[in-house]
């Protein structure tokens, strides 16, 4: 593994558990390099015999500050969305349950990545949010995935307000399975108690059965929101103003068009 890789991936528990770790703290930005490394890791292990689970976690004090704002600019966002959405589809199609351990900030593209996984474990002081609306844009993958993880009303609150919620509120909404001082240890304990002794073949079929309608809907809806983002949103003056203002570290001047 090269020194500049943004990701660590390995198999443990006698080949039963794939560990995938964001390894570019403190921000763990979900940029093109991170997305590419994640895609490779999931592709390489999609047919690993006997795999019964994945644990996705992150080094440092935060899970992820989100996606690269520079890669959201008009001349780069098409490639970014295509690669991120391909990764989301790979993750929801993955044949073993993906557990996610979150500490600190889990925002924007980082939360979209976590949403593409499954059961989530977090610290009480973790923060979850989709702040894209504050930049004059929206979160395509989260717009599709959040209503599957929490209610439609709660998803709209987070998507329209751009506010962040703490661990307790995330637990109450059902976004998080449990709050733990050490979410990685809690996820590992869950794997050992509930997944390690199961048949990998049965788990793969159970995922296909429980996510059948979701997989088809997410695939269709991701295409729709991607077109909305590229063909309508990015042609507005405010989307480009919001991104430019963020990069310039100034307040945006909305003209509502």
**Structural domain boundaries in the chain:** 7-181
As given in the structure block, the two tokens for residue 230 are: 């590229």
| Averaged pLDDT, 151-166 | 98
Digit-coded pLDDT (tens) for 55-112:
999 999 999 999 999 998 999 999 999 999 999 999 999 999 999 999 999 999 999 9
Digit-coded pLDDT (tens) for 10-23:
999 999 999 999 99
Query: In Å, how far are 5, 100, 171, 209 from 8, measured between CA atoms?
Result: 8, 15, 28, 30
Residue 248 confidence (pLDDT) above 70: yes
Query: In Å, how far are 16, 18, 66, 108, 164 from 159, measured between CA atoms?
Result: 36, 31, 14, 10, 10
Q: List Cβ<8 Å contacts ≥24 apart for 32-36.
A: 32/68, 32/71, 32/79, 32/80, 32/83, 33/6, 34/6, 34/7, 35/80, 35/83, 35/84, 35/87, 36/83
Residue 165 vs residue 1, higher pLDDT:
165
Rounded Cα–Cα distance for residues 237 and 249 (Å): 18
Confidence at residue 168, expressed as pLDDT on a 0 to 100 scale: 98
Confidence at residue 200, expressed as pLDDT on a 0 to 100 scale: 98
Please compute, for residue 146, the number of CA atoms within 13 A of its CA located in the half-sphere on the CB side: 26
Confidence at residue 3, expressed as pLDDT on a 0 to 100 scale: 47
Rg of the chain over CA atoms, in angstroms? 18
Confidence at residue 28, expressed as pLDDT on a 0 to 100 scale: 98
Residue 146 confidence (pLDDT) above 90: yes
Question: For residues 5, 11, 17 and 18, what is the CA-based torsion angle, rounded to 10 degrees?
Answer: 20
Query: In Å, how far are 66, 123, 171 from 158, measured between CA atoms?
Result: 15, 19, 15
Tell me the average pLDDT of the chain.
96
Question: For residues 154, 112, 203 and 174, what is the CA-based torsion angle, rounded to 10 degrees?
Answer: -20
Residue 157 confidence (pLDDT) above 60: yes
Confidence at residue 2, expressed as pLDDT on a 0 to 100 scale: 46
Confidence at residue 4, expressed as pLDDT on a 0 to 100 scale: 72
Digit-coded pLDDT (tens) for 168-218:
999 999 999 999 999 999 999 999 999 999 999 999 999 999 999 999 999
Reported residue count of the chain is 257
Residue 228 confidence (pLDDT) above 90: yes
CATH of 7-181, one of 3.90.226.10, 3.40.50.2000, 1.10.3210.10, 3.30.70.270: 3.90.226.10
| Averaged pLDDT, 243-254 | 96
Residue 1 confidence (pLDDT) above 90: no
Confidence at residue 5, expressed as pLDDT on a 0 to 100 scale: 86
- Nearest CA-CA partner of 17 in 101, 129, 114: 101
Q: Which residues contact 125 (CB under 8 A, 6 or more apart)?
A: 103, 104, 166, 167
Whole-model pTM: value is 0.96
CB atoms within 10 A of CB 189: 13
């Amino acid at each position: 593994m090269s020194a500049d890789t943004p990701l660590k991936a390995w198999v443990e528990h006698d080949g039963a558990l794939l560990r995938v770790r964001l390894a570019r703290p403190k921000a763990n930005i979900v940029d093109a390099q991170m997305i590419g490394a994640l895609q490779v890791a999931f592709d390489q292990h999609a047919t690993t015999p006997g795999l019964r689970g994945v644990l996705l976690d992150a080094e440092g004090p935060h899970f992820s500050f989100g996606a690269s704002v520079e890669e959201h600019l008009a001349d780069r966002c098409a490639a970014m969305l295509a690669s991120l959405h391909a990764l989301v589809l790979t993750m929801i199609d993955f044949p073993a349950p993906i557990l996610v351990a979150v500490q600190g900030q889990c925002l924007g593209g980082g939360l979209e990545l976590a949403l593409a996984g499954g059961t989530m474990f977090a610290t009480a002081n973790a923060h979850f949010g989709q702040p894209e609306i504050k930049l004059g844009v929206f979160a395509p993958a989260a717009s599709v995935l959040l209503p599957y993880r929490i209610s439609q009303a709660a998803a709209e609150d987070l998507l329209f307000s751009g506010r962040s919620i703490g661990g307790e509120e995330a637990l109450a909404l059902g976004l998080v399975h449990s709050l733990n001082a050490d979410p990685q240890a809690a996820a590992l304990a869950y794997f050992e108690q509930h997944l390690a002794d199961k048949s990998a073949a049965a788990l793969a079929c159970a995922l296909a059965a429980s996510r059948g309608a979701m997989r088809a809907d997410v695939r269709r809806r991701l295409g729709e929101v991607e077109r909305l983002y590229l063909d309508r949103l990015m042609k507005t003056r405010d989307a480009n103003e919001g991104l430019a203002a963020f990069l310039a570290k100034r307040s945006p001047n909305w003209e509502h068009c």
